[in-house]
Chains A and B, each alone.
Chain A
């Protein structure tokens, strides 16, 4: 690989992570050195730190439409999901032991629910339709008088499908059941108002919107009965102990403000590039299938199955050309079969194995799109020629 390192890296895996924006880094830097004070201390430099954390908390609250004391900083999306689900499950055990989620959640939610099943909880994993969308009627039918929590992601990380969150929130509110949503992929792409959408808890992660890794937040509506997740000091109002990740929190606050300033303009720009890329791929490569909903999806997401290829092979050959993408194929994923999301939307194994995800971001250009449209077709032709299974006359 080192022999032929491509001149330029074209990063198209923004759902995995984003580069921290230089302006965000600039905001963070003084909090490593100059303003290093522990927000829990009492002297002036510590008060500065405390003030900066409060400012970041307000920045997050303003984006979600809640009050700052409903925002709790965590170490990322996975911790937020764990806290929301385990915290409410254990605290509300006397009310019931039933949790409803979906088959296409991130593993941070799915594996937490599987853990709770071992602890005596019952979990319903809702099916989704061929586009990956939850049917609110099916949700209603699965609710019992023992249901204490519903957790449905706002937008899917693999196929970008956007769920009818407001409708689900209404159902939960009406039935007096807590509603948590994993909004890790949604921040900066969807307008969010936790009151209008009836959301009780919401997870987010800074590195998905050009903030730093290792920092996230959980919104917890006032009055929700939830236990503390990490015990120790009195940080985060006693609910999440441990000295604050000060630079990370500053970065998160600044990044979320930056990323949500003009969501519709952002979506317009990104989706027009995305559509050109997708149309180009479908025009030049035969037998390519789009996974997920054609319209009700994140503006930056392409998830395609290229019949007669293997996702990992596609990924590695694109990498040799400097293009970074992801795959949901079985052999690269850590699963016994292909991605649980592709299985849930009934993508046949022969297609799921050739799946790749391209997720665009702010730094992608029209030239990047042209470049990918240039390099991808010959890679597919090569892999198909190497395959014994299909006969494509290329």
Chain B
């Protein structure tokens, strides 16, 4: 029970994709993003906020966006979760800052995992949170603009 065996989540679309998988341990990039996360914190005057809770493990991520001319000019996040959830959200926020909303929308958790140099196989599902929370934030913004959500 108290070991480090990790669960294989019953999750959806990532099973068909190829991920870089570290079999058991977190690599140094993951540990760096976990211990010194980029863009961590709250944003009081955000233009859009997206929050997502993982159905697998209850991890929760909230992403705040500052948007000017369709470009993400600032981003913050908060995560209650394991190291994989924190590190992948940190990496994802870093990857979309300065990008257009279209570009940000297209960022997949696969790209985030690869940018981190891989995650343990059973922690891949933790990286979906960032993608989902980002999508929620972008769609909230689109709705505010009177646009159809993607």
Chain A interfacial positions (CB closer than 8 Å to B): 1-3, 15-16, 106-107, 157-158, 308-310, 312-313, 316-317, 320, 326-336, 339-341, 349-350, 353, 357, 385-390
Contacts and interface: CB of A to CB of B under 8 A. Distances in A.
B19 interface: no
Nearest to A385: B41
Interface in B68-96: 78-86
A341 B2 CA distance: 11
Given A317-B35, A388-B62, A310 B1 contact: no
Contact of A327 (B2, B34, B40, B51): B2
Contacts of A15: 2
Contacts of B6: 331-334
B126 interface: yes
Contacts of B41: 385-386
Given A386-B86, A388-B80, A320 B61 contact: no
A387 B78 contact: yes
Contact of A336 (B7, B35, B37, B51): B7
A157 B60 CA distance: 29
Contacts of A331: 6-7, 57, 59, 81-82, 84-85, 123, 126
Contacts of B82: 310, 312-313, 329, 331-332
Most buried by A among B37, B62, B83: B83
A388 B26 CA distance: 24
A308 B80 CA distance: 7
Given A328-B1, A336-B7, 14 more contacts: A3-B28, A310-B80, A310-B85, A313-B81, A313-B83, A328-B2, A331-B6, A334-B7, A335-B1, A339-B1, A340-B1, A353-B58, A386-B79, A388-B79
Most buried by B among A2, A320, A387: A387
Given A310-B81, A328-B2, A320 B58 contact: no
B146 interface: no
A349 B58 contact: yes
A330 B81 contact: no
B4 interface: yes
Interface string B4-48: 111100000000000000000010100100110100110000000
B147 to A, nearest CB: 26
A109 to B, nearest CB: 12
A336 B1 CA distance: 11
Nearest to B10: A336
A333 B2 contact: yes
Contacts of A330: 7, 57-58
A334 B5 CA distance: 5
Contacts of B83: 312-313, 316
20 contacts: A1-B31, A106-B1, A107-B1, A158-B1, A312-B82, A313-B34, A313-B83, A316-B26, A316-B35, A331-B7, A331-B81, A333-B2, A334-B1, A334-B3, A335-B1, A386-B37, A386-B40, A386-B80, A386-B86, A388-B78
A142 to B, nearest CB: 24
A327 B34 CA distance: 18
Contacts of B28: 1-3
A324 to B, nearest CB: 12
